[in-house]
Amino acid sequence: GVIIPGIRISMEVLESRTSKLPSVEIVRTEHVIGRGTVESIQSGLYHGTLGSVKELVQGIQNEAFGGKEPVVIGTGGFASLFENAKIFTEEKPDLVLQGLYLALKMNL
């Protein structure tokens, strides 16, 4: 598997580990190059995460699926942020909750 920090954790680390960078709203940005500190942080968060996910999907596709296209499910609250990037086959923002519900249902 692969474990990387999510977009929110990345924002929290920037805020807590740097003395002058502010917390910003996590949004999709059109441009890679920001025109100020806030836009630059937002762009780095969005495009950095997008690039990481694309690279990981490509690597997993090559290593585990012999180059065949896998089903990629976007989960969590920020999955919809990447909707226009077409990196997910489908989105299930509440997949963990669905799994917990099924586990509970199976054990009742």
Q: What is the full DSSP assignment across 33-82?
A: S-SSHHHHHHHHHHHHHHHHHHHHHHHHHHHHSTTPPPP-EEESTTGGGG
Q: Structural domain of residue 13, as residue ranges?
A: 7-106
Residue 99's CATH number: 3.30.420.40
Give pLDDT tens digits for 4-39: 999 999 999 999 999 889 999 999 999 999 999 999
Pick the closest to residue 81 from 37, 43, 34, 39 (CA basis): 43
Query: Is position 33 within any domain?
Result: yes
Number of domain units in the chain: 1
Give pLDDT tens digits for 32-49: 999 999 999 999 999 999
- The arithmetic mean of pLDDT across residues 82-99, rounded, is 92
Q: Please, which residues bridge with residue 1 across strands?
A: none
Query: Is position 2 within any domain?
Result: no
- The arithmetic mean of pLDDT across residues 72-97, rounded, is 92
Say what the pLDDT of residue 57 is: 94
Query: Is position 75 within any domain?
Result: yes
Query: Is position 1 within any domain?
Result: no
Query: Is position 29 within any domain?
Result: yes
